[in-house]
Amino acid sequence: MGTKMGFMVDSNRCIGCHSCSMACKNYNQLNPDIVWRTVYDIKEDAYGQPTRITMSLACNHCEEPACKEACPTNAYEKRADGIVIHHEERCIGCEMCVYACPYNVPQFDKEKKKVGKCHLCYERLDEGLSPACVSSCPTQAIYQIDVSTIGDGFENSLPGFPDPKITKPSVRFIKPSIVKKL
């Protein structure tokens, strides 16, 4: 089985501090209204009792990327290591990928009139570094993984995450352990 790079999202550790999204914005020099990594609140009662839980999500570098399929200009490429990258110079800003991605990942930049999305900082990975978001997380709640070797025992979805059957996202989750109130 080939390499399938993606993210592990540990919701047990995530404290919702948004360092990851800020680091991503900063590293990629994104325009003010663009975010490539978002920290979502999981619905309060998702685990049976009101609890504040967060999950930090970016592009899932899907096995069957809907963005790539919909793009008329072949602006998307799935690399041999599984990372889905977007070639900005090929993009004409038709927003078909925005429609097609079930996770609302590609973002239309009104200034550039093109879309953009997380590319798993592949240039940093190639140099043996971690992605900017991973490096900045104070609790190590996100890290890059190879989904093909990570093994079982992890969740492939958390409450509120759209059906992973659609695009087979390369993301795995560690679900929060809820402390029961006595």
Q: Which residues bind another protein (CB under 8 A)?
A: 38, 40-43, 57, 66, 68-74, 90-96, 99-104, 108, 112-114, 159-163, 166
Distance CA 118, CA 122 (A): 10
Q: Find which of ligand SF4, another protein, none residue 37 binds, CB within 5 to 8 Å per kind.
A: none
Taking Cα atoms as reference points, which of 44, 47, 28, 46 lies closest to residue 36?
28
Q: Which residues bind ligand SF4 (CB under 6 A)?
A: 59-62, 65-67, 70-71, 73, 75, 84, 86, 91-97, 101, 103, 105-106, 114-115, 117, 167, 169
Specify the residue, 47 or 122, whose C-beta has the smaller distance to ligand SF4: 122
* Residue 77 interacting partner from another protein, ligand SF4, none (CB closer than 5 to 8 Å by kind): none
If you write DSSP's letter for every residue of 51-87 in order, what string do you get? --EEEEE-----SS-HHHHH-TT--EEE-TTS-EEE-
Q: Who's near 52: CB < 8 A, 6+ residues apart?
A: 16, 41, 44
Given another protein, ligand SF4, none, residue 57, with its beta carbon under 5 to 8 Å by kind, binds: another protein
